[in-house]
Structure 1
Amino acid sequence: MTAIDKILSSAFVDTYSAALAPSFDFLDTSAGAEVEVPGAPAAVSAAIQKLLTDQGHTVIGASEDQLELAVVTRKTMLSWELATGIEIAPTPHGSHVSVFVQNMPGRPKALLDGKKNKKAAQKLAEQIRTAV
């Protein structure tokens, strides 16, 4: 674990940084992206879960059929964790993947979070397309 990762995962950062940052609680930080991919939903779900694990994100919940995933992205130098939902639906040509992203509850919000979260959702959707 690098020194930066140690600092980011420290109890000090989790406890005090939100109090020091301005928060714009009135902002809607939710965003989404969708992508069509070839492959059966079960295979797509397995590829997505491997991608998420390889990137250091945490799958905190999944439906019984593994077609709905609740994910918490990893914290970085420039952003807090993001609450992410992924839904996989079968289509005649493969699978339809929907990615939903928003700020984690209890974390401060910034003016450009909605725009940043939209880019994060689109980036994850493209990574899923590549991984599948």
Structure 2
Amino acid sequence: MSRMDSFLNSKLVDTYGAALAPSFDFVNTGAGAELDLPIPPPAVSEGIQQLVADLGHTLAGVSPDGLEIAVITKKTMLSWETATGIQVTPTPTGSHVTIFMQNMPGRPKALLDGKKNKKSAQKLAEQIRASALG
């Protein structure tokens, strides 16, 4: 099962999917980012949740184990909110973080949204890396 399928079939989506969209069919797996960190998953999850709060985004939900996080990024002058799913999985050397990002359903779409969302996901991944290793 792919990481995306695992995320879409998770209890987090069942519990908090309504906060993000009627279904996660809107998620574009191309608009995402991945990173590995030499830190245990619970510490990574706590750091991500703190970073989300510090950045002013909305924490839409967290799975009971804290390893799946649903975030709605804040609206800016140049972009609408984005629905973001973050999954932290344990690895032998620490944690693997996967970020999926897509426009919120019902928001206007633009030609370059996919490219912008991918860049935003990569920026969030770098912010997570800097926060975790900083």
| Partner Cα distance (1:73, 1:110) in 2 | 17
Q: In the TM superposition, what is the alpha-carbon distance from 1:38 to its structure 2 partner? A: 1.3
What is the aligned partner in structure 2 of residue 123 from structure 1?
123
What is the aligned partner in structure 1 of residue 78 from structure 2?
78
Q: Percent identity?
A: 67
| Partner Cα distance (1:119, 1:43) in 2 | 25
| Partner Cα distance (1:46, 1:63) in 2 | 12
Moved over 3 A (4+): none
Q: Is the 8 A contact 2:27 2:100 kept in 1?
A: no
Structure 2 segments unaligned to the other structure (5+ residues): 1-25
What's the Cα RMSD here?
1.1
Aligned-partner SS, 1:119? helix
What is the aligned partner in structure 2 of residue 59 from structure 1?
59
TM-score (norm 2): 0.76
Structure 1 segments unaligned to the other structure (5+ residues): 1-27
Aligned-partner SS, 1:65? coil
1:103 corresponds to which letter in structure 2? Answer: N
What is the aligned partner in structure 2 of residue 89 from structure 1?
89
| Partner Cα distance (1:51, 1:37) in 2 | 15
Q: In the TM superposition, what is the alpha-carbon distance from 1:62 to its structure 2 partner? A: 1.0
Aligned-partner SS, 1:59? strand
2:49 corresponds to which letter in structure 1? Answer: Q
